[in-house]
Structure 1
Amino acid sequence: MTPQPAPRGDQTRQLIIDTAMRLFGEQGYEKTTMRAIATEAGLAPSNAYYYFPSKDHLVQEFYTRVQVAHREAVAPHLAGRGDLGTRLHAAMSAGVTVMDPYHAFAGKFFRVAADPASASNPFSDESEPARALSQEIFRDVVDGATTTIDPEVKEVLPELLWLAQLGVTLFWVYDRSPGRSRTRLLVDRAVPLIDRMVGLSRLRVLRPAVREALSLYRALRA
């Protein structure tokens, strides 16, 4: 059967997103207006605002698109079961690969996203849908792991791994090495450490410290 073309509305929506991402890279987030995006896309401003009431809504769409692509890229590696380290390495490596086409404007964009008051901040209420998609990837990493994990650690581990991925992303933003080789090295070296720390958390002698750390984490995220 011949694939059916996407509905016109979906095509227009995608055109706006693609145009916005290009202009963000060329002009920076602050200098790119919704009117400029509409003009560059060959649309009336009212048409662009119909699909995206503000630039923040475009950013959330971008976040979601990246997370959907991340999910698709890592899905084959998480289809079965395996040890935590192997699954986590696959997830973090896929995340770097999916983000890489956007590296040219990542630094400009990060300055806006780092503002705690910005709707583009990854911890904002507006970012919750994309954040949930990303955390679900790491929940799959944990749930499909054959590694024995302390139950209390396992409960919050997907969120902690998502935070670790944010750290990798921040490093990636400032990584100017060819092909982001330093970020790849970070993933290669950090994942075994995380895997080892998860294993050590099961030791009886470390349980009081682990419980205290988990209590602090819960208090901070409340």
Structure 2
Amino acid sequence: MQSKIRNQKEWTELVVASKVKLPLIGSKFDFLQKKGKNFSYKGLWAILLSISTFSTFLVLESFKKSPIQAQYAPTATNSNIWQYASFPVENFQTYTSGYGYRTSPITGQSQFHYGLDLAAPLGSYVRNWWAGRVVELSDDTACGTLIKIQSGQWQHIYCHLMGSVEESPQGRYLIDREGGIIIWQGQEIPAAARIGRVGMTGRTTGPHLHWGLKHNGDYVDPGLVLQEMFRYQVSSRK
């Protein structure tokens, strides 16, 4: 899987196979174009271009009911609620596995993949998608070192991070000393804050961020969320 760097700008756009663009939040990101037969996350562009009307309706309805949307309701002066969201990883390279059924690279068996895998160089910083509170830290599952953050009725999950989870009299915390990261359970984290680094902890065949999203306790396809982020951000530029 190869990516060609085209140029840099304040808002960098990812051109995904069919030239559908997704924005990143941050000051310096590369403009990447996915090309070649090895582009493995075919599910994303298929979702962006060919998703059924019914499934789109269900997801958009869930956005309408989201407390996040209620908190940041569009107004005459602020119609872009997704300005509060951040793309979750720096130095993004490609999508390696989408949401849904797949053949597991570990077991070779068909199984449901409850998230989106984003490849990035080992040690790349992971950013918090939306402001919220850390509700779980763990490093003893197949997900490796992980963080779960609650934002209203949304929960976002970050897996395979560098570092470990430790206990102290003050509480439970994740520490990545080389990355300068200390995250406490119960800590409030702003959007776009660096919360960890891409690692290879847990069950994984290469460095990547597994990013999961739940709404009201049910998993949601992160690709659809990125689609919504892009749609709102494009409309805000007009």
Asked if these proteins are the same fold (TM beyond 0.5), I'd say no
**Alignment TM-score, normalising by the size of structure 2:** 0.23
**Alignment TM-score, normalising by the size of structure 1:** 0.25
Larger C-alpha radius of gyration, 1 or 2?
A: 1
